[in-house]
Amino acid sequence: MADSGRTGPPERLSITSTVTDGIRVLTLAGEIDFHTGVRLQEALAASGPKPPRTVVDLDRVTFMDSSGINVFIAAHHSLSSGGGWLRLAAPAEHVLRTLQLVGLDTVIDCRPTLGQALAA
């Protein structure tokens, strides 16, 4: 059996950070679960524009479990206490259903598109 030289699981969550009109935008692609939640938590905690306003684009998230819910709740509290906010944008139907089942969509502003989240 050949060794590929790779250690650990393959990359399952891509996180790209940009700034649009003073708002940090994290664009996610892949799965948010126990194994990738720490990376998302670190990305949300990274310093950015002040006040800390962040939109998370969920359009390309294929799976999210309770790990993602916990990360978003912690980030919401952290950003809010710093005078900023967190918004979730463009969740696929299955991700939106997870957000709605636990009522997170009533705690964190969740918009159908990235444009709406940036303009709100």
Calpha distance 79→10 (Å, rounded) = 30
3-class SS of residue 12: coil
Which pLDDT tens digit goes with each residue over 60-96?
Answer: 999 999 999 999 999 999 999 989 999 999 999 999 9
Average pLDDT over residues 50-57: 92
* 13-119 fold: Transcription Regulator spoIIAA (3.30.750)
Crossing angle of helices 66-81 and 37-45, rounded to 10°: 10
pLDDT at position 7 is 44
pLDDT at position 5 is 45
Mean pLDDT for all residues in the chain: 91
> Is the predicted pLDDT of residue 30 greater than 50, yes or no?
yes
**Residue 23 is inside which H or E element, if any?**
strand 23-32
Domain spans in the chain, listed from the N-terminal domain onward? 13-119
**What is the model's pTM?**
0.88
